[in-house]
Structure 1
């Protein structure tokens, strides 16, 4: 029973650290860009977009497809960076132990 008590303490500590990490990810901001930096998207570590910056030279009402593609690419770049940062933080939290394939976290 002593081992069970220790295991329960470890689980509780892990839960507390995960809650702290979630709060840190909400405050973390990453920036993705496309078009050689002409479009920039800023988002939180949880994937919430905070801002979009577009170089005025890209704004052409007769050709919105390029701008749409660049915004999409910048958002995907920012999301990839946020995901990468989350994985780094999870590895710190789990001591480098990989999560099982397909394991989804609540954020």
Structure 2
């Protein structure tokens, strides 16, 4: 077993993880609801960046509908962000076998 080789591999993976984390900060995903009348934009790490609401929805009696649409659009964008993060981590950890239940980053 090459312990030094494993250390170097771990350090290289850590550097790639840091690069990926930085990239995820600037990767944007969009979720929408109601046929596109409500849209939200998040970073791939889940930070909400923008909410766009069609002006036709801004009626006082439809407030509850609007709130539900925003929650739905956010959930969709969040799911896309999670998928982007999962794909990025798969690319980095490629052949590394992690014990069951162990996730990166630690």
Q: Is the TM value for this pair above 0.5? A: yes
Cα gap change, 1:35 to 1:17, in 2 (>3 Å):
same
Distance 1:15 1:4 in 2: 16
**Unmatched 5+ residue regions in structure 2?**
none
Distance 1:22 1:15 in 2: 10
**Unmatched 5+ residue regions in structure 1?**
none
- Where 1:8 maps in the other structure, the secondary structure is helix
How many residue pairs were aligned? Answer: 105
Q: What do residues 10-46 of structure 1 show as CA deviations (whole Å, max 9, x unaligned)?
A: 0000100000000000000000001011100001011
Cα gap change, 1:36 to 1:76, in 2 (>3 Å):
same
Residue matched to 1:103: 103
TM-score, with length taken from structure 2: 0.90
Greater helix proportion: 2
- Where 1:101 maps in the other structure, the secondary structure is coil
Alpha-carbon contact 2:32-2:76 (below 8 Å) kept: yes
